[in-house]
Amino acid sequence: MNKILPAFAIAFGCALSAFAADPAPNGISLPDGYKDWRLLSVSQRTDNNTIRAILGNDVAIKAARDGKTNPWPDGAVLAKLAWKNAKHEKWDAAIVPGAFIQAEFMIKDGAKYAATGGWGFARWVGAEQKPYGKDANFVQECFGCHTPVKDRDWVFTHPVKLP
């Protein structure tokens, strides 16, 4: 057993590293399990022809359902997933998700990310999940783009209303 276990551990470690995305240049790691998070909202952008789902971790979902999103609480994480627009092959007027473009995250920690509105920003591009940005300054691009929604705690997403 003592000889077999380390071999398993090595094999398992390799398998894990083969699938783990590199961290963003600002040190943020790709959040675990975001694909299983619950729905916060959807959107479609006619300027770059993308369709999106916005998911939230448990803290974010609770805040959204309680209507306490200005500000969002520390610990909230929003995941914005974007796909290229495609046309449904059997319904011409339906825009559906084509190729996966990117996963973007906003992580709320008022103290840690005080310089950028209390939010840590990160993006992983494409199916290969390549971290976006040459160095940590990439967040200025994210933060700048979010300036129009400064009064909404820097968040574009309107959580959906559900009965």
Which residues of the shown chain bind a second copy in the complex (CB under 8 A)? 21, 35-39, 41-48, 51-53, 55, 81, 83, 88, 90-91, 93-97, 99-100, 103, 124, 126-129, 148-149, 152, 156, 158, 160-163
- In angstroms, the CA 2 to CA 148 distance is 59
Closer to a second copy by CB, 5 or 162: give it.
162
CA dihedral 59, 60, 66, 68 (to 10 degrees): 110
All residues at 6 or more sequence positions from 137 whose CB lies less than 8 Å from its CB, including other chains: none
Q: What angle do CA 10, 12, 17 make, to 5 degrees?
A: 95
Q: Do 85 and 114 contact (CB within 8 A), yes or no?
A: no
Q: Do 40 and 62 contact (CB within 8 A), yes or no?
A: no
Helix, strand or coil for residue 10? helix
Q: At closest approach, how far in Å is the CB of 137 from a second copy? A: 24
Closer to a second copy by CB, 143 or 156: give it.
156
